[in-house]
Amino acid sequence: MELITICKTDRKLKGEISLPSSKSISNRVLIIRALSKKNFNIRNLSRADDTKLMQSLLDKIEYQKNISEAVELNCENAGTVMRFLTAYLSNKPGKWLLTGTERMKQRPIGILADVLRQIGVNINYVEKKGYPPILIEGSELTGGKIEIDAGVSSQFITALLLIAPALSGGLEITLINKISSLSYIEMTIKLMEYFGIKINHSGNAIAVKQQEYREADFNVEPDWTSASYWYEMAAFADEVDLTITGLKKESLQGDSVLPEIFKKLGVRTEFLNEGIRLYKDNIPSDFFEYDFTNFPDLAQSVIVTCAGLNISGKFTGLESLCIKETDRLTALQTELKKIGINTKITSNSELITLNSKQQTVNSKPINTYGDHRMAMAFAPLALLSGSIQIENPEVVSKSYPGFWEDLKKFGFKNLLSTV
């Protein structure tokens, strides 16, 4: 196992940084390009592992001819890849076996599979009902009217939306229950509209008629979620003058809500023509409350920020964290305890009450559980303690491959060792 020790001898954060491209946008646009059957240019495509995997598997699918046996596609632990391809391959003639890591086999797919069955897809569970691996017999589908539970994962809805224009007769979707991660559904709709698709979205009803994606070159935005770790560092630093290039107030990404959140945590954002600039602002209060229903990928950064600042908090809308790369709720509780922070999680995983005590980063390394966001959310604590150890640092390549190198540009020293 590899271990990285991150050291920072001062609490200054000054300079300029360029963030990686959004993998959420990149993966959606790759599916759109595959569905369009047009080879338009995607500029600034993410270099994250998940996007490389999506591109590789789409290429493998495209090369298959005269399929007689099931083609195995390993989605590893990439949720968007598994879910988007489940829908995409349902409308692609052939036999397809979608599998992944042991963790992926614990992440649900049943809600999406059951809805696809309603419109005629033959999907079978290879091991455990409701979970990967799954065997899909794809064919050209006829759409219709469907209902889907929107409270588990927005990726199920996005997967259906992306293929909807390619279905005979289109698709009418009714969303049932509280909608999880609405901002990601809105991102999908805006991207589809950019590529010429007309969508009727009213409340919990979304209707997409049969139509064709237009050919149009596309430029992928920098990733707002990756900015959350830099906001966290700004909250911990004593002196801050940080420019993050490329980020815009008008963004496809819901996580562009970061300036609003961190204003309450002592970080001020100035929007510039070339990006944003961060400064220290008012002293935050001793209690923070936030609903992450629409922004679950920001939860770890914000919760660890509150822990580092000794701010007690009540955090809701965290239900989907249990089915991410790891059970992020349990992982947060375990790792925060190592720095002296006690947490309480309700039985239905709907909220965390964070009771903060003076944190002491001890010699115990932070376990990442194979989760890129765990590594990057805890790394900024080095600004407070002088150093922190992170296990399996390579996990950041899932979304932000250059994270550790970017830290070096701001005076962090990263010592890699094998244990």
For residues 392 and 249, what is the distance between their CA atoms, to the nearest angstrom?
A: 34
302, 328 in Cβ contact below 8 A? no
Selection from 84, 100, 97 nearest residue 157 by Cα: 84
For residues 126 and 133, what is the distance between their CA atoms, to the nearest angstrom?
A: 6
**Looking at this protein, which amino acid is placed at residue 399?**
S
Active site residue 255: no
Work out the angle between the directed axes of helices 23-36 and 49-63 (0-180°, nearest 10).
10
281, 263 in Cβ contact below 8 A? yes
Give, in order, the Cα–Cα distances in Å from 271 to each of 44, 237, 250, 289.
22, 20, 11, 25
282: Cβ–Cβ under 8 A, 6 or more apart, which residues?
266
Cβ neighbours around 97 below 10 Å, total = 18
Q: Which spans in 164-288 are helix H?
A: 182-194, 224-236, 258-263
Q: Which residues pair with 3 in a beta bridge?
A: 391, 417
DSSP states of 267-320 as a string?
EEEEEETTEEEEEE-SPP-SEEEEE-TT-GGGHHHHHHHHHHTT-EEEEE--GG
Omega of the bond leading into 133 within 30 degrees of 0 (cis): yes
What phi and psi, each to the nearest 5 degrees, are found at residue 354?
Answer: -105, 110
Selection from 396, 21, 23, 323 nearest residue 156 by Cα: 323
Active-site choice (149, 223, 297, 371)? 297
| Sign of the dihedral defined by the CA atoms of residues 265, 318, 327, 254, in that order | negative
Active centre residues (catalytic): 297
